[in-house]
């Protein structure tokens, strides 16, 4: 009989808290202010939004390490898996943006002290600037080493930046490469955008032997478009999704969460179909 170590057991329990019994996960992201400041003022209501996430059926929350202090210990939020950001990057949605070097400002141990189930850091993969890719790789490797010693899962949020004019096929291949690099550097979870070439998404997922979560990104024009995109991504093999602005910019965050959860977990469609 093989018994896992306490570190292995702790890692498995934390991963289980982030995923439902069907091994799928919907995480609601509230960590935008770490990189973007006020995030338009919406995150002033973080405690109430976290409560609505729980009521809407989310499996987890993603937020900045110290923002977790705002959670009501008796509310719905603390019953969810908790992914805590410990780095900062002034990264935006522009696929051609030039982003500076990584800046990690907290440790894996601090995530455990905050009762987090995973740490999250960025990997900015710029096809034009190999040196900065290396800087992110060093930061991720160091973080993975800390997390591994503590039994703490590590999520790596991958964002690919390319030269203007890069084809959808080339960009999609760069995304698959970056996702695999994130795994090789120690990621237990990879969060990434959908590939611009839709047929490339299954290949990306197949290249990564850990769960891949869709990054929701900026809200789409319609809820129908959001749900169709999520369904396509699930069909390509992703294990779930992380949505932020799509939820907390919506007039009914709880209802929107419930609708997204229905798609992720294959339950009856929600109110906004």
- Tell me the pLDDT tens digit for each residue of 201-248: 999 999 999 999 999 988 888 899 999 999 999 999 999 999 999 998
Contact 52, 250 (CB under 8 A): no
C-alpha to C-alpha distances, 43 to 20, 81, 122, 244, nearest whole angstrom: 26, 19, 20, 10
CA distance 272 to 141: 41
Question: What's this model's pTM, rounded to 2 decimal places?
Answer: 0.94
C-alpha to C-alpha distances, 84 to 113, 153, 172, nearest whole angstrom: 11, 11, 28
Domains, the chain, in order of start with CATH, read 7-265 (3.20.20.70)
C-alpha to C-alpha distances, 115 to 7, 14, 171, nearest whole angstrom: 15, 10, 37
What value, to the nearest 5°, has the Cα angle with vertex 153 and ends 150 and 157?
135
- Tell me the pLDDT tens digit for each residue of 24-61: 999 999 998 887 776 667 788 889 999 999 999 999 99
């Amino acid at each position: 009989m093989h018994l896992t170590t306490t570190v292995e057991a702790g890692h498995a329990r934390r991963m289980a808290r982030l995923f439902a019994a069907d091994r799928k996960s919907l995480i609601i992201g509230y960590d935008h202010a770490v990189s973007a400041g006020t995030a338009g003022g919406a995150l002033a209501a973080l405690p109430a939004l976290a409560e609505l996430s729980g009521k809407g059926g989310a499996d987890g929350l993603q937020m900045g390490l110290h923002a977790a202090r705002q959670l009501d210990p008796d509310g719905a939020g603390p019953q969810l898996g908790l992914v805590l950001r410990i780095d900062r990057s002034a990264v935006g949605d522009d696929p051609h943006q030039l982003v500076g070097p990584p800046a990690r400002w907290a440790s894996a141990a601090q995530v455990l002290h905050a009762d987090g189930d995973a740490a999250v850091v960025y990997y900015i993969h710029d096809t034009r600037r190999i040196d900065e890719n290396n800087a992110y790789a060093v930061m991720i490797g160091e973080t993975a080493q800390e997390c591994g010693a503590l039994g703490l899962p590590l999520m790596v949020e991958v964002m690919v930046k390319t030269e203007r004019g890069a084809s959808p096929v080339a960009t999609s291949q760069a995304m698959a490469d970056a996702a695999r690099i994130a795994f090789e550097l120690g990621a237990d979870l990879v969060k990434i955008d959908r590939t611009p070439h839709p047929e490339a998404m299954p290949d990306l997922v197949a290249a990564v032997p850990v769960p891949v979560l869709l990054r929701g990104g900026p809200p789409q024009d319609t809820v129908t478009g959001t749900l169709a995109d999520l369904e396509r991504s699930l069909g390509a093999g992703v294990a779930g999704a992380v949505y932020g602005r799509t939820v907390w910019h919506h007039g009914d965050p709880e209802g929107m969460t419930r609708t997204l959860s229905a798609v992720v977990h294959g339950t009856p469609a929600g109110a906004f179909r």
